[in-house]
Structure 1
Amino acid sequence: MEQVISADRVEWVPVFTGLSVRQFRKLVRIVAGRGGEQTGTGRRWSLPLADRVLLIAVYYRTNLTVRQVALLFGVSKSAAHRVVDHLAPLLALAPVTRRYGPDTVLIVDGTLVPTHDRKVTAPSKNYRYSVNMQVVIDANTRLVVAVGRPVPGNHNDCTAYRDSGVERSCRGASVMADGGYFGNRQVIMPYRRPRDGGELLAWQVELNTIHKKVRARVEHAFAHMKWWNILRNCRRKRDGVHHATRGIALMRNLAMTG
């Protein structure tokens, strides 16, 4: 099969990845540093590392089937599957290893990702089988700092925050969230109206307005991440949606910082 897309044709990189050529080359270096380059003996990859990274970036960006992506790169469907399975864990946001101080402000929120694997999904408020993906960003830099493991889409954010593991990733920091995280005492949420039906005080209304403006940054992050269309309908099984979300988080961070 003739290869249509190649990393050597740099004009295709921004179109199919959402990254500049410099950002894409940095992504390739990250993957290489994590063991993406083939070493030792054994069956050799038919594509060089840059093309394999481009393949998975195209797969995430376009959400074409693996068969369709394979045709674009001139490889078989099974070879494309192996590339995705091998590189997905390497092309992903690194887990949080630092402990934050209280001066660090993080923002957490969940988004529903429709996913075909019924073993990890549940019918949710978007009337589709989805997973709840918890994402944490830095309020100052707006970069994604953590992505939780997927939980069924019928779990509310309060439960997903704990079960996905992002609660541990945020340990020590000041964490902002919407009212859906009621019950997580360490999370800063907007004031609710009193149960007796009274009105909020003026200073509470003012703080809620500030809170809403700052918290909107995580919504902007979700909008940016969903430019990679696999988050609109993920066909990957098992850990596929987790690897895809972390990979997109890494590419978004690169797109923002260069």
Structure 2
Amino acid sequence: MGEFQGRKALVTGGASGIGAAIAARLVACGARVAVLDRNVDDLGPDLIGLGLIGCRADVSDDAAVRAAVTKAVDELGGLDIVINNAGVGAQGGVEDNDDEEWHRVLDINVVGMVRVARAALPALRKSDAAAIVNTSSIAATAGLPQRALYSASKGAVLSLTQAMAADLIAEGIRVNAVNPGTADTPWVGRLLGSAPDPAAERAALEARQPHGRLVSADEVAQAVCYLASPAAGSTTGTSIAVDGGMQGLRLRK
């Protein structure tokens, strides 16, 4: 469990959900971890006592991101790993969101990752095992109903990951992505809570994943940690689907 011993990591959106699970697993595996989030004062019970460094920033604010990354690098004493996990959800078909919402979601989900990576690169270039892992989604690789904006943003993350990997491989910086299926997170919980029949909506979300349940945040975290670890030294420019088979399986009913 010490594969990240001595390594320093930054996790965006790390105060809750998948980001919190990633931060906790990195610590369990020996890393020192900074969490970049809009709310670092109210960490969940699984994060309290882990010695996390809180760095407050909204990824849509470049100046705040640069300040937060600088704080993380200074307090950690360097940086080896960046987990670009912060993002927001969006619902609706292509006609259901106005320009302002399209700009907002793309600014957070795509340009937010650019801001963090851009600020972190000087420190990552000093690492002997630098890695960036971006959180994409099953929405990038499968057509899902009522997810046009969200799918567009996560498809962009997948393409961005490949382009970053090509640009940075010569400098020894690996870049990969993880594609979660529908995960059991606070955002999905709020989505279910707003449905006319939450139980029926949850059953429908579970049924569309071939293994018949929601993905756990820790399952995504384990895939992220593999991609970030020195054990994946020859893995770059790719993605791992953690979706219960939703991306590739076509089961007979």
Q: Same fold (TM over 0.5)?
A: no
Q: Which has the higher contact order (CA 8 A, sep 6+)?
A: 1
Larger Rg: 1
